Chain A
Amino acid sequence: PGRQFDIQEYFLED
């Protein structure tokens, strides 16, 4: 159930 987010969508590139 549900779709998995890509962690990069949350965190900012340095």
Chain B
Amino acid sequence: MFEARLVQSSILKKVLEAIKDLLNEATFDCSDSGIQLQAMDNSHVSLVSMNLRSDGFDKYRCDRNISMGMNLGSMTKILKCAANEDVVTMKAQDNADTVTFVFESPNQEKVSDYEMKLMNLDQEHLGIPETEYACVVRLPAGEFARICRDLSQFGESVVISCTKEGVKFSSAGDIGSANIKLAQTSNVDKEELAVTVEMQEPVTLTFASRYLNSFTKATSLSNVVQLSMSPDVPLVVEYRIGEIGHIRYYLAPKIED
């Protein structure tokens, strides 16, 4: 028996919003420790890794490990049926071929359940090695979304350069070029408004702006985004999911031919 109850169904809606551009379907691996999802986008350029810890749920029970392959389009339709203030519970029997979503209004006057068929998906689990990154940048998630949106008007690629002074985002294309420099915040009153750089060595890498833009669909999950970079390894774009977990996007850099 698997059962996970979350008072804020909006978290699940936001998680889905954050992955459904990149993935058509995904396997939710449920165990005693929580719910994990790892999947490559269809073009194998980026990897999505999500973790929701069991202790972050209001109720969590998982007697046996269960992998639930879900069509994210169908899941989106079902979650649209939940009001933001509803309490959501996901339930499945061991070896089940369906999952049930139960939505309860805060006053318990309306209770709905939706059963969704599960899919058998080929699992391509990749090992993500522990990496010491040369640069780790934290900045307001809304600012990062704005930068990705603005720069994607110029070209297909965004160059991210990180030095101890700050971080620069650049793009160039047919209409011209654009550079956005963010300096490290000197006085930090509110952490969520700060730009911070932890740097071992300067790094400059080039990424596809289309993917960076897709990652920013997670912006509503967190005030802060963390970018981790090292030469010749994938960028990690990380958003915390409240006190319950995180979503990380790995994007391979572009290389010169």
A→B interface (CB under 8 Å): 1-14
B 156-192 contacts with A by CB, 8 A: 157
Question: Is B206 a contact partner of A2 (Cβ separation < 8 A)?
Answer: yes
| C-alpha spacing A5/B66, complex, angstroms | 32
Question: Is A13 a contact partner of B126 (Cβ separation < 8 A)?
Answer: yes
Question: Is A11 a contact partner of B47 (Cβ separation < 8 A)?
Answer: yes
Which of A1, A3, A12, A13: most chain B CB closer than 10 A? A1
Question: Is B252 a contact partner of A2 (Cβ separation < 8 A)?
Answer: no
Number of interface residues of B (CB under 8 A): 24
What residues on B are CB-neighbors of A11 within 8 Å? Answer: 47, 126-129, 250
Question: Is A14 a contact partner of B252 (Cβ separation < 8 A)?
Answer: no
Question: Is A2 a contact partner of B255 (Cβ separation < 8 A)?
Answer: yes
| C-alpha spacing A7/B254, complex, angstroms | 11
What residues on B are CB-neighbors of A13 within 8 Å? Answer: 124-127
Question: Is B44 a contact partner of A7 (Cβ separation < 8 A)?
Answer: yes
What residues on B are CB-neighbors of A10 within 8 Å? Answer: 233-234, 250, 252
Is B34 among interface residues, defined by CB-CB distance under 8 A? no
Contacts A/B (CB < 8 Å), 18 sampled: A2-B157, A2-B257, A3-B257, A5-B45, A5-B252, A5-B253, A5-B254, A5-B255, A7-B126, A7-B251, A8-B40, A10-B250, A11-B47, A11-B129, A12-B127, A13-B124, A13-B125, A13-B126
